[in-house]
Structure 1
């Protein structure tokens, strides 16, 4: 069985780290970029660069866009864009499920409804690329099962559009309910709402690495650097 093991027990997971890791295990980002441009009308470019995080060679996703950093869209707007797109049905379903997961969490946190939820960080072009791109990448590899380690979330506080929030952010924690978390002393956000929603959507089982024949390994790098560990998410693709 073609299986993906997601190792996010050291440095969590974010949308850009996910898509970068997928690029290291065989996904062609140029194909993903072309598909994304049929959905996202704003100008953007998608590329990667090789970086070294605490001694580990990894890939970092580079997104260039003229959109303002704190631009936001309503969930209903993003939903319609995906539904009306030319993506494969499986790609649409995965992307819609990830956004819906975030919308449900945000609506609960802010005492709103899914229809009225508007995304701040998650509604920008970069996050749309992370989420929809990950959905396309996952479908492209025809993965049959996904197993994930307990999730590292981080500690401390982070400043977002709403102000100073605890880590894990409320939406992240809401999404990760019933999912095993990994204790860490790291101060800072390791897992984002986007990363948590990706995990919630595509993972079938949470455990340590299974007995498997490893075929490909991908390291997706985050933008931050930590003194204690490499800021990477590891994707291991193989047969179980």
Structure 2
């Protein structure tokens, strides 16, 4: 089976989870799984709605308990979430890779943008070997996931949805990712699109991306980390039989195509 992603309309973590639901991942199971993840970081309300063009949209409201959720803490919370949901094998590996990609990109972004550096911290913590159960301690830089706290919900939706669909954990991109444009406002001020962590992930994993077509952020750091964890490459999707497909939108209906995924035989 082949997973084909058309990110003409950009990609964010909530959009990818919504696209998996649109493609046939059980809506109730998905919402319950993401609510379980949401309860690990605070109080969450998650609903699915349809956009005007029939795309799925996730509406999330999360009241965070962690003012500063560190990558280290997120890693351990994700481990508990995956255990609770019996997320296994390649889907578990995919989820941890997505989190790892984001945390490392955030650390690099903070180093390269000096006004962010007050949010980098060195921790000594356990690293887990998931195959053998061994743990060992070593100093490891960490980053606080201010804007990306919802990544636990997004990655849970992504990993669980892929597992429900028995989908591959590698993806073919039918189009370069559109980043959007303009500026984003967040806890540190204003930054141009793409966000530093997004650009770092695209450069590090050689994911094809381009500016436009709108002056808004279309591709988020979490969406980027999901693409990286899927080892996404631009390629020919071929003419295999489409088993299922799904479309999703973010918070607004922009005049661009929705995020589209296809599972092909």
Determine if contact 2:43/2:62 at 8 Å carries over to the other structure: yes
1:182/1:89 Cα in 2 relative to 1: closer, same or farther (>3 Å)? same
1:83 and 2:79 matched: yes
User: What residue in structure 2 maps to residue 43 of structure 1?
Assistant: 43
1:105/1:130 Cα in 2 relative to 1: closer, same or farther (>3 Å)? same
User: What residue in structure 1 maps to residue 241 of structure 2?
Assistant: 213
1:71/1:17 Cα in 2 relative to 1: closer, same or farther (>3 Å)? farther
Q: Which runs of 5+ in 1 are unaligned?
A: none
Please, what is the CA RMSD of the aligned residues? Answer: 2.2
Q: Partners in 2 of 1:197 and 1:99 — Cα distance?
A: 7
TM-score by length of 1: 0.86
Q: Partners in 1 of 2:161 and 2:218 — Cα distance?
A: 22
Deviation at 1:236, TM superposition (A): 1.3
Deviation at 1:34, TM superposition (A): 3.5
Determine if contact 1:45/1:63 at 8 Å carries over to the other structure: yes
User: What residue in structure 2 maps to residue 74 of structure 1?
Assistant: 70
Normalized per residue, which structure has more helix? 2
Q: Partners in 2 of 1:67 and 1:80 — Cα distance?
A: 17
Aligned residues: 229
Q: Secondary structure at the match of 1:225?
A: coil
Determine if contact 1:29/1:46 at 8 Å carries over to the other structure: no
User: What residue in structure 1 maps to residue 10 of structure 2?
Assistant: 12
Determine if contact 2:31/2:46 at 8 Å carries over to the other structure: yes
Q: Partners in 1 of 2:200 and 2:189 — Cα distance?
A: 18
1:24 and 2:49 matched: no
Instruction: Decide which moves more: 37-46 or 208-217.
Output: 37-46
Q: Secondary structure at the match of 2:148?
A: helix
Q: Partners in 1 of 2:226 and 2:99 — Cα distance?
A: 9
1:198/1:185 Cα in 2 relative to 1: closer, same or farther (>3 Å)? same
User: What residue in structure 2 maps to residue 121 of structure 1?
Assistant: 147
Determine if contact 1:105/1:171 at 8 Å carries over to the other structure: yes
Q: Which runs of 5+ in 2 are unaligned?
A: 112-119, 123-139
Deviation at 1:51, TM superposition (A): 1.2
1:229 and 2:256 matched: yes
